[in-house]
Amino acid sequence: MKSKILRGTALDGQIRIFIADTTSLVEKAKDIHQSSPVATAALGRVLTATSILGVMLKGDRHKITTRIHGQGPIGTMIATSNASGNVKGYVTNPQVMVESSTPGKLNVGGAVGKSGEITVIKDLGLKNPYIGNYPLVSGEIGEDFAAYFMYSEQQPSAVGLGVTIDKDYTIKSAGGFIIQILPETDDNVAFILEERIKEAGSVSKLIENSKDGKEIMYQLLEGLHPKVLEEYEIDYICDCNRERFEKALISLGTQELRSLIEDDHGAELQCHFCNKKYQFSEENLEALIEEAINTDN
């Protein structure tokens, strides 16, 4: 089944809700990165949240990148999404293992760490991207994104993210939700929502046990007049190409390119997001030196 995000609203626009089923998308990420269960769970949560942040963008060419660095053994986690919600990401140490104090529950916070930052980079097609850095709350990702909304936009938000991995290491379910209410909304509504979220329990169970996002929305927002606005099909997509790596090589400068020819007789670059390898022969590098000289002039 394709991964999807549902965008909805309730109480005449006072509540906005995003529900993502990213089961197949996280499976693809796991296959690409050959990641351990805890790394898959951590990256899956970040990919899900980043994809939702992507569909929140207004412009077709806008992009969002989130980086989480919590000083834990997983290293740094990066994910990038565009306005269609297509997302890609990676972690420094995809094979990380950490002990868990709760049997059957992956210790995402332990792998990510919590003494660090969440960085959100919004590229809205302007001269400079908008960059915000905020302290991590727990390294469990959901709370960290909720804090980001509070710090950056003064927007109270409930963020639930979850990934459940089966005994055979396939993804049983993955996804999440983001629910936001307008500041002038009655306090009672926030209270009702909090109770509903608590009742619903784990996000991954909710996704596993529901037919689709719509069913989850009606469960969480029952009695608050929920309405579906749009549904997006999303995927893990890497848009890397040879040209981008050529540019990266050119930016190294002629001296560095010469030493790649003399010392290594070529270069091999690998995309962090999809692990695709790009080979550059001595002749290719010579041509890039030419280009570097020409762009300098």
Question: What is the Cα–Cα distance from 280 to 263, expressed in whole angstroms?
Answer: 14
Question: What is the Cα–Cα distance from 81 to 236, expressed in whole angstroms?
Answer: 9
Instruction: Give the largest CA-CA distance in the chain.
Output: 71
Give the interface segment with Zn ion, choosing from 19-27, 56-64, 127-135, 230-238 (CB under 5 A): 230-238
Q: Which residues contact 190 (CB under 8 A, 6 or more apart)?
A: 156, 181
Among 238, 260, 261, 288, binds Zn ion (CB under 5 A): 238
Interaction between residue 271 and Zn ion (CB under 5 A): yes
Footprint on residues 2-41 left by Zn ion (CB under 5 A): none
Total residues contacting Zn ion (rule CB under 5 A)? Answer: 6
Residue closer to Zn ion by CB (options 192, 269) is: 269
Strand, helix or coil for residue 187: helix
Beta partners for residue 135, in sequence order: 117
Residue closer to Zn ion by CB (options 177, 273) is: 273
In the complex, what is the shortest distance from the CB of residue 91 to Zn ion, in angstroms, rounded to a whole number? 15
User: What is the per-residue binding string for Zn ion in 91-130, x denoting contact by CB under 5 A?
Assistant: ----------------------------------------
Interaction between residue 240 and Zn ion (CB under 5 A): yes
Interaction between residue 237 and Zn ion (CB under 5 A): no
Concatenate the DSSP letters of all residues of 48-96 into one string.
HHHHHHHHH--STT-EEEEEEE-SSTT-EEEEEEETT--EEEEES-TT-
* Structure tokens belonging to residue 151: 């710090």
Residue closer to Zn ion by CB (options 247, 258) is: 247
Q: Which residues bind Zn ion (CB under 5 A)?
A: 238, 240, 271, 273-274, 276
